[in-house]
Structure 1
Amino acid sequence: MSFGDPNPNNPYGQQPGQQPQGQPPQGQPGYGYPQQAPQGVPPQGQPGYGYPQQQPGVPPQGQPGYGYPQQAPGTLQANSGYINIPTLGTVEVASMGRRLGARCIDAVVIGVLYGILSAIGLASALGLAKSTDDCGSNLDPGYQSCVNDASVSIIATMFGVLALFILITLLYEWLLISLIGATLGKKALGLKVVKENTGMAPGLGAGFIRWIIPIVGAFLCYIGAILTYLSPFFDNSGKLQGWHDRAAGTLVIKQ
C-alpha cells in the first residue's frame, strides 16, 4: 500500500479538487487580488447611501454658479452712479446736469408752443375788441349788452388758449414719458425714464403720477414745481430720485 500521490502526473502533488498552492480558494480574497471595500464605504465611482449628492444644474454650497444672479435688482454698485435694473442689467444713473439740460430743452419746446398759442389767442381777442365798434354809440339801448358779449368772448378765448396749452403740455410730458420714456429734451441728451422694478417704460399710470406732482406744486407760485425738480439733490439713496420719481417708482438713466 503506497502513501504517495495516487496521480503521479499531478505536478502539485495534491488531492483532486484541492486548490493549487498560492491560489486562494474560490469565493475568498487572496493576496494580490482586488478586495471589496469595508461595509459603509461606497465602491469607487459609485455613490453610497447616506452621502450627499450634488443635483444637476445646482451649484455647490458657497460657490456661485453660471447663470445665477449675483446682485439684487435695484442695488447700487458702491455708490458709483451705476445701478442694476431688471431686463437692462447695469446702467448709469442720469446726472443732474443732464437732467436739467433736458428740462431746459423741453422748456424751450413748450415755450415755443405757448408763444404760438398766445399769439393766436391775442389776435382773436383783438378781433373781438374791435367788434365792439359795431355796437354803435353808448347811448344806444343795446350798446352795453353788445360790449358785455364781446368782453365775455375775449375772456373765453384767453381761457381757451390756456386750457389748450395745458392739454398740449399734458400730452407732451405725460404721453411721451409714459409710452417711450423720454421727451424731446431727454432724447436729445440720451436720457430715459424707466420703472425701477422692471426697466420698462413707466406706463400711463406711473407717467401721470410723475407729471401731476410738479403741476400741483406749480399752483404755489411755481415754488412747489421748482422744489420737485430740484428734489433729486436731496436724495441720499444715490439714485437721484425726485419726489415725483419716488411716487411713480421711476428712475432716470442714461441710454
Structure 2
Amino acid sequence: MANSDDARKDQKSLIRPTDDTARLQAKGLVRTARFGALAAIDAATGHPVASRVSVATDMDGTPVILTSMLSGHTEAICQTPSCSLLVGEPGKGDPLAHPRVSLFCSAKQIMRQSVEHKRLRRRYLSRHPKAALYADFGDFSFFRLELMGASLNGGFGKAFELDPSDLIAPVEDLPTWASLEEGAVIHMNEAHLDAVKLYAEVLLKAEAANWRLACLDPEGLDLVAGDWTERLWFAKRLSGPEDLRPTLVALALQARNT
C-alpha cells in the first residue's frame, strides 16, 4: 500500500501547474486537429475500442465528429457516452516527443433538424469538404464531444491536467455569431483571399499555398489549405460580433506592414 501511495505521489509530482502557455497549446491542438483517435467502450464486449475519426470544432472549441450509425464506435458512444479523444500530429522523429492532448468527453448526438446541426454541419464541412458526399446520408450523425477534462502532454516532462474551462470558451449570443460567421467566411474567401493569404504566410509563417478561411470564433481564425490547418489567435478575445470586421482589417494591415 505504501509503495502504491508513493507511486501516486510521484506521478502527481510530474504534473506541472497549468498556465496560459499550456492552455493555449492544448486549445491549439484541438482547434487545428484534422483527425484523432476516439476511444470508447464496445457495446457488445465491454472492451475498449479505438477508432480514427475526422475532427472539427464548434465555435466554443468543443470537438465535433461525424460518424456512421453502422460503425462500431458510433454504437459504442450511443450506448456509453463516456469516451476519450486523442489529438496531436506526430510529426518527424520520435512520435512521443510531439505534443498531444487526451480529451475526456461525453458524446452528445446532434439531432438533424436542430439549430446546432446546421451550425456544426457548416463548420465540419469547412474543414472536411469531401465529407459533403455523405454528411446528409440518413445513417450519419454529428456528435459534440462535451469536455469533462483533459490531459496535455507537451513533450517529455511537460504534463498538465486541464479543466473544461481551460479549453472551452463559451460564446455569448451564439445565434448572432453563427450567422456572422457564415457570411464572413464566404465574403473573405470570395473577395479577400489576398488578406487570408497574408494571415497565413506572413503572420503565421506558413508555407505558400491556396489558403482559405474555414471557421472563425471570438478567439481566432481557422485557416486551411488542403491537408494543412493553421490557427490565428486574436490578440484578445473579441467582446462582440461588431469587433470582427475592424479586427480582420487590422490584421491585414499588420501583415502588409510586416
- Larger helix percent: 1
**TM-score scaled to structure 2, two decimals?**
0.23
Normalising by the residue count of structure 1, what TM-score does the alignment of the two structures yield? 0.23
Structure with the bigger percentage of strand? 2
